[in-house]
C-alpha cells in the first residue's frame, strides 16, 4: 500500500469533489484549516488489505477507483473461521465510515479486488474536529434516514447487528417511480430487490394472479426461491399504481450482508397480511381475494423498540392491527385523569376501527413492545380501496363494526343528503324543526281550504245552474290546497340543524328556488343558549343559539326538537376536539425526544398520496355537468396552490345589454342605409352609425375588463378580495384589496338566493372573521358550495399546521428543559464535592 500526503489545497479540493455536500456547509475556510495535512492518497494493489477486522479505526476512506471487498468472520473454538457477512463497495463509497461514527474498531476486513484501487484517506481526528464544529456533517455522511426506514422493514426483523443495516443502507439507492410506470418487466435482469418505502405496486404474471403491495412490502423476488443465490431474470412484472418511493438493493449485496435469501420470509409475510385481515371481525365477510387486494392498501411496520403508536385523546386517521406473535401494552386515563391498570395484549387484535369512517379521539394509549409487527390502514387509503372495487356500497355494508362504533357513526344513512361533508366527517345528529312548526305552516293551506269551502257553499246556494263553473272552482281550489300543502311539507323537510364530528351547520333550502347554509367549527363554539316558551316546554321544542367568536358568529335554529340533546352533542364534540390538542401535544413531545435521542422511526402514514377518493357524494345533474365546463371555466382558474374566482357570467350579462343593443342598432342603421341608397346624404347616417358601433364595442370591452378585474383569491394561508375600478380620469385604475389569514375565519355562510341562482349554480359565500376586517363576501361566485368547501378544507389545513407549530414550540422548550436538567443532575451526581444538594435543600425548606 502506497500513501501520498496531499498538500492543503490539493487535499481539500479532492475531498470537496468526493464529498460534494461539504461544499454546501458554511465556513469553507475553517473546513480547509481543519483538514490541513489530514488528507492522503492511498493506492492498493489487487487483493491487498486496506484494514483488518478488529484493528483500531484511525482513518476514514473514500473510494475513487476500483472495488473494495469487505467481509466479517466469526470463529468458534476448535473450528475454522466462518464468513457471516460480505459486501462489495464501488467508487463513491466510504470504507470505514460506519465504524468511525459508531466509535468502534473495524468490524470487517477490507481489501482490493482484482484491480488496483485509489482511495482518499482522512484522519479520524480531523473528522472528529469537523463533526464537533459542524454537527450536521454526520447526517450528510451517513444515510441515517434510510437506516431509520430499514429499521422498520419487516423483512429485516431478524438482523441482529447494527452494522448489517448500515451496510444495507450504504448499498441501497432511493428510487421514485411515477404512477403507471413500470418498475421492471418479466424477463429483465433480476439484479435488485425493492423495498417499498411509500407507495403501491401491482404485480402481474404471477401463477397466483395479481398481487397488490403497500408500504413495507418487498418486490423483485422469484416465485421459485430454493437455492436462488444467483441472479436470474424476473418471472413477473411490477407497475407503480401511484407515485412510489422505493429502496433498491442489489440482490448480491443483500444476500452477502444478511446471509439469507429474501423470498421465503417475504412470501410468508404476504400470506400473513392477507390472512390476518380476513381473520379480523371487521373484514370477516370479505372474500380471500378481496383481503389480498386490501393488503396492498395497508402499511406493514416493524417496531424495533418500545414505541407509542397510539396516544389517548389524539384524533386518528388509521386503524392499527397487531399481528400474531406480537405484543403491546394498553394504557388509559379515566375521566378524572387517573391512570388505569395497564393491560397486556397479544395479536391478532385491532384498534381504532372507527378511524376508517370518521375522525375520532383514541380511547387508549398503546405502547408497542420491541419486535412487534403492525398493519395500519389509513381511512383515505381505505376509501381508495372501496372506490376501486366493483361495488363500494357492498364492501361498506359487509364490514362488521362493533355496536359502539355503529352508534358513534350516527346518521350515516342520511349522508347522501349532505354532499358538502368532508373526508372523515360523519353525521352525528340531523335535527328538523318540531312537528308543531309544521302545524303552524299548515295555516296557509287551511285558510285556502276554508275560503274554498265558504265560496263553494255560497256558489252552491246562490246558483242553481252553472255546474261546469262550480266544478272548475272545486278543482282549482283543491289543486291550490294540495300545491301549497306539498310546498310547505317539502320546505319543512329541507330545513336542518346538522351536527357532525367537526362542524355544526344550519341548512335551509327550497328545491329549485334557493339554498342557504351557515357553518361553524365545533372547536370555535363559545356558548350555546336555549330559549323556549309555554308550548315549547309542553311539547319539547325550543330555539337553540350557537355563538362563536366571529363578527356575526351566531347560528340560530328555532322550534327545533330536543334542543338539550343537540346542545349536549355539540359540547361533547367540542370537548373531543380540544382533547385532541392535548393528545397531539403528547405525541409531539415524544417525537421531539425521539429525534434528540436518535430513536426516530420512519413510519409512513399512508400508502397512496394521490387525490382522495370521494365516496357517497352526489354528482351534479347532467345539464349542469354539460354547462359548467364551458361556461364556468373563465370564472375559476388555479395556478399551483392559488385559486382565483371571478363573479358569475350572469352578473356580466345585464351590464353588457346596453352596449350590445347600441351596437346592434348602429349596425342595423349602417347596413340599411347601404342597401337602400348610397349618396352623399347617406354618409351623414353611416358615419355616426360606425362611430356608435365602435363606441359600443369599446363600452363592452370596458365593461368586460371591469368585471374581470374583480377577483377573489385563495392560497394556502390567506384569502384576498380584490376590486379594481376603471375610471375616465387619472388614476385610470383604482384598486381596493382586503386580505385575512385563513386561521382568522370563524364561520362560513353559503347563500343561493333564487331560482336563477339555483339553475346556474352561483351565489354568495360569506366568511366571518374575528379580526378587524370583519366579514368577507364572495359575491355571485360560480359553484358556491365548491368555493365554501375549498375555503373550509384549506382553513382546516392551516389550523392543523398552526396548532402543530405552536405545540412544537412548546415541546421543544420542554425537551430543552429536560435536557438541561439531566445535564445538571449528572454533574451533581459525578461531583462528590457538591454532596446531595437536593437533600440539603429539602432540609432547609423544613427549617
Q: In the sheet that 201-204 helps form, which strands lie side by side, from edge to edge?
A: 182-184, 237-240, 201-204, 211-213
Query: How far is Cα 13 from Cα 20, in angstroms, rounded to an integer?
Result: 10
How does residue 673 score in pLDDT terms, banded at 50, 70 and 90? confident
Report yes or no: 409 and 358 within 8 Å, Cβ to Cβ: yes
Backbone angles phi, psi at 135, to 5 degrees: -60, -20
Q: Which residues, including other chains, have CB under 8 Å from residue 366's CB and lie 6 or more apart?
A: 308, 309, 310, 320, 328, 329, 330, 331, 351
How does residue 372 score in pLDDT terms, banded at 50, 70 and 90? very high
Return the top range by mean pLDDT from 660-664, 676-680, 818-822.
660-664
Q: Residue 731 carries which DSSP code?
A: S
Count of H-run helices and E-run strands, the chain: 24, 41
Query: How far is Cα 182 from Cα 205, in angstroms, rounded to an integer?
Result: 13
> Hey, CA dihedral for 150, 156, 159, 164, is it positive or negative?
negative
- Angle between helix axes 649-676 and 680-708 (nearest 10 degrees) is 170
pLDDT for res 613: 43
- Find residue 245's DSSP bridge partners: 176, 198
Burial of 693 (0-12, 13-18, 19+ CB in 10 A): buried
pLDDT for res 581: 60
- Find residue 310's DSSP bridge partners: 366
Answer left, alpha or beta for residue 424, where phi above 0 means left and psi between -120 and 50 means alpha. Answer: left
How does residue 843 score in pLDDT terms, banded at 50, 70 and 90? very low
**Helix, coil or strand: residue 144:** helix
Q: Is residue 16 predicted with pLDDT exceeding 60?
A: yes
Could you tell me the three cell numbers for 802? 398552526
- Mean pLDDT for the chain overall: 79
Residue with cell string 282549482 = 476
How does residue 159 score in pLDDT terms, banded at 50, 70 and 90? confident
Query: How far is Cα 193 from Cα 254, in angstroms, rounded to an integer?
Result: 8
Backbone angles phi, psi at 152, to 5 degrees: -105, 10
Query: How far is Cα 108 from Cα 101, in angstroms, rounded to an integer?
Result: 15
Omega before residue 348 within 30° of 0, cis: yes
Nearest to 401 by CA among 352, 447, 458: 352
Query: How far is Cα 532 from Cα 250, in angstroms, rounded to an integer?
Result: 75
pLDDT tens column, 277-300: 999 999 999 999 999 999 999 999
pLDDT for res 312: 78
pLDDT for res 233: 87
Q: Is residue 576 predicted with pLDDT exceeding 90?
A: no
Percentage of the chain exceeding pLDDT 90: 14
End-to-end CA distance of the chain: 73
How does residue 722 score in pLDDT terms, banded at 50, 70 and 90? confident
Report yes or no: 785 and 749 within 8 Å, Cβ to Cβ: no
Q: Is residue 323 predicted with pLDDT exceeding 90?
A: yes
Q: pTM higher than 0.85 for the full model?
A: no
pLDDT tens column, 634-643: 566 666 678 8
Q: Is residue 612 predicted with pLDDT exceeding 50?
A: no
How does residue 215 score in pLDDT terms, banded at 50, 70 and 90? very high
Report yes or no: 11 and 102 within 8 Å, Cβ to Cβ: no
User: Which is higher by pLDDT, 166 or 196?
Assistant: 196
Amino acid at each position: 500500500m502506497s500513501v501520498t500526503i496531499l498538500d492543503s489545497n490539493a487535499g481539500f479540493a479532492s475531498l470537496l469533489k468526493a464529498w460534494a455536500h461539504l461544499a454546501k456547509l458554511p465556513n469553507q475556510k475553517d473546513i480547509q484549516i481543519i483538514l490541513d495535512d489530514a488528507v492522503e492518497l492511498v493506492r492498493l494493489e489487487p487483493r491487498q488489505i486496506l484494514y483488518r477486522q478488529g484493528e483500531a479505526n484511525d482513518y476514514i476512506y473514500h473510494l475513487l477507483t476500483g472495488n473494495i471487498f469487505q467481509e466479517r468472520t466469526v470463529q468458534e473454538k476448535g473450528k475454522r473461521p466462518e464468513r457471516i457477512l460480505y459486501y462489495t463497495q464501488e467508487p463513491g463509497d466510504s470504507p470505514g465510515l460506519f465504524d468511525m461514527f459508531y466509535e468502534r474498531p473495524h468490524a470487517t476486513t477490507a481489501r482490493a479486488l482484482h484491480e488496483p484501487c485509489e482511495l482518499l484517506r482522512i484522519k479520524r481526528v480531523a473528522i472528529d474536529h469537523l463533526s464537533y464544529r459542524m454537527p450536521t456533517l454526520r447526517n450528510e455522511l451517513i444515510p441515517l434516514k434510510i437506516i431509520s426506514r430499514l429499521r422498520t422493514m419487516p423483512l429485516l426483523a431478524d438482523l441482529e447487528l447494527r452494522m448489517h443495516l448500515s451496510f444495507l443502507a450504504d448499498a441501497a439507492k432511493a428510487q421514485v417511480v411515477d404512477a403507471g410506470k413500470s418498475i421492471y418487466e418479466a424477463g429483465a435482469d433480476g439484479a435488485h430487490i425493492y423495498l417499498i418505502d411509500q407507495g403501491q405496486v401491482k404485480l402481474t404474471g404471477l401463477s397466483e394472479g395479481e398481487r397488490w403491495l403497500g408500504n413495507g412490502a418487498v418486490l423483485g423476488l422469484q416465485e421459485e426461491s430454493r437455492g436462488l443465490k444467483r441472479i436470474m431474470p424476473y418471472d413477473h412484472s411490477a407497475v407503480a399504481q401511484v407515485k412510489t418511493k422505493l429502496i433498491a438493493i442489489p440482490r448480491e449485496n443483500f444476500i452477502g450482508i444478511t446471509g439469507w435469501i429474501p423470498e421465503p420470509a417475504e412470501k410468508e409475510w404476504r400470506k400473513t397480511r392477507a390472512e390476518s385481515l380476513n381473520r379480523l371481525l371487521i373484514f370477516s365477510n370479505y372474500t380471500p381475494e378481496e383481503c389480498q387486494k386490501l393488503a396492498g392498501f395497508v402499511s406493514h411496520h416493524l417496531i424495533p423498540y418500545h414505541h407509542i403508536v397510539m396516544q389517548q385523546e389524539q384524533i386518528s386517521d388509521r386503524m392499527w392491527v397487531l399481528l400474531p406473535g406480537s405484543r403491546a401494552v394498553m394504557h388509559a386515563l379515566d375521566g378524572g385523569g387517573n391512570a388505569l391498570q395497564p393491560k397486556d395484549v397479544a395479536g391478532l387484535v385491532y384498534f381504532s376501527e372507527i378511524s376508517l369512517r370518521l375522525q375520532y379521539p383514541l380511547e387508549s394509549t398503546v405502547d408497542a413492545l420491541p419486535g412487534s409487527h403492525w398493519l395500519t390502514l389509513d381511512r383515505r387509503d381505505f376509501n381508495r380501496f372501496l372506490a376501486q372495487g366493483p361495488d363500494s356500497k357492498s364492501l361498506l355494508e359487509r364490514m362488521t363494526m362493533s355496536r359502539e362504533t355503529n352508534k358513534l357513526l350516527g346518521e350515516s344513512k342520511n349522508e347522501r343528503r349532505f354532499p358538502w361533508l368532508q373526508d372523515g366527517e360523519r353525521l352525528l345528529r340531523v335535527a328538523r324543526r318540531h312537528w308543531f312548526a309544521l302545524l303552524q305552516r299548515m295555516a296557509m293551506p287551511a285558510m285556502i281550504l276554508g275560503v274554498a269551502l265558504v265560496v263553494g257553499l255560497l256558489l252552491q246556494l246562490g246558483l242553481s245552474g252553472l255546474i261546469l263553473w262550480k266544478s272548475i272552482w272545486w278543482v282549482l281550489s283543491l289543486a291550490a290546497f294540495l300545491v301549497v300543502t306539498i310546498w310547505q311539507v317539502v320546505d319543512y323537510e329541507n330545513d336542518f340543524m346538522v351536527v357532525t364530528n367537526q362542524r355544526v351547520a344550519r341548512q335551509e333550502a327550497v328545491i329549485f328556488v334557493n339554498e342557504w347554509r351557515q357553518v361553524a367549527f365545533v372547536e370555535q363554539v363559545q356558548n350555546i343558549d336555549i330559549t323556549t316558551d309555554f308550548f315549547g316546554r309542553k311539547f319539547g321544542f325550543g330555539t337553540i343559539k350557537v355563538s362563536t367568536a366571529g363578527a356575526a358568529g351566531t347560528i340560530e335554529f328555532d322550534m327545533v326538537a330536543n334542543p338539550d340533546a343537540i346542545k349536549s352533542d355539540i359540547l361533547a364534540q367540542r370537548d373531543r376536539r380540544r382533547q385532541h390538542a392535548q393528545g397531539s401535544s403528547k405525541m409531539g413531545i415524544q417525537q421531539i425526544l425521539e429525534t434528540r435521542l436518535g430513536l426516530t422511526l420512519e413510519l409512513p402514514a399512508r400508502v397512496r398520496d394521490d387525490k382522495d377518493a370521494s365516496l357517497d357524494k352526489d354528482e351534479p345533474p347532467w345539464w349542469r355537468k354539460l354547462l359548467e365546463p364551458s361556461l364556468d371555466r373563465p370564472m375559476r382558474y388555479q395556478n399551483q396552490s392559488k385559486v382565483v374566482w371571478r363573479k358569475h357570467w350572469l352578473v356580466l350579462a345585464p351590464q353588457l345589454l346596453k352596449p350590445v343593443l347600441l351596437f346592434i342598432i348602429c349596425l342595423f342603421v349602417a347596413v340599411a342605409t347601404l342597401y337602400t341608397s348610397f349618396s352623399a346624404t347617406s354618409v351623414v347616417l353611416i358615419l355616426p352609425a360606425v362611430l356608435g358601433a365602435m363606441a359600443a364595442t369599446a363600452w363592452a370591452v370596458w365593461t368586460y375588463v371591469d368585471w374581470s378585474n374583480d377577483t377573489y383569491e385563495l392560497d394556502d394561508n390567506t384569502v384576498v378580495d380584490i376590486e379594481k375600478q376603471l375610471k375616465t380620469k387619472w388614476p385610470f385604475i383604482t384598486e381596493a384589496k382586503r386580505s385575512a389569514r385563513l386561521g382568522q375565519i370563524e364561520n362560513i355562510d353559503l347563500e343561493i338566493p333564487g331560482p336563477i341562482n339555483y339553475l346556474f349554480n352561483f351565489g354568495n359565500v360569506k366568511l366571518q372573521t374575528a379580526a378587524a376586517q370583519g366579514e368577507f363576501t364572495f359575491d355571485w361566485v360560480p359553484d358556491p358550495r365548491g368555493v365554501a368547501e375549498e375555503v373550509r378544507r384549506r382553513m382546516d389545513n392551516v389550523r392543523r399546521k398552526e396548532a402543530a407549530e405552536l405545540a412544537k414550540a412548546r415541546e421543544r422548550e420542554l425537551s430543552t428543559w429536560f435536557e438541561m436538567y439531566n445535564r445538571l443532575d449528572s454533574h451533581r451526581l459525578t461531583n462528590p464535592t457538591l454532596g446531595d444538594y437536593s437533600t440539603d435543600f429539602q432540609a432547609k425548606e423544613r427549617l
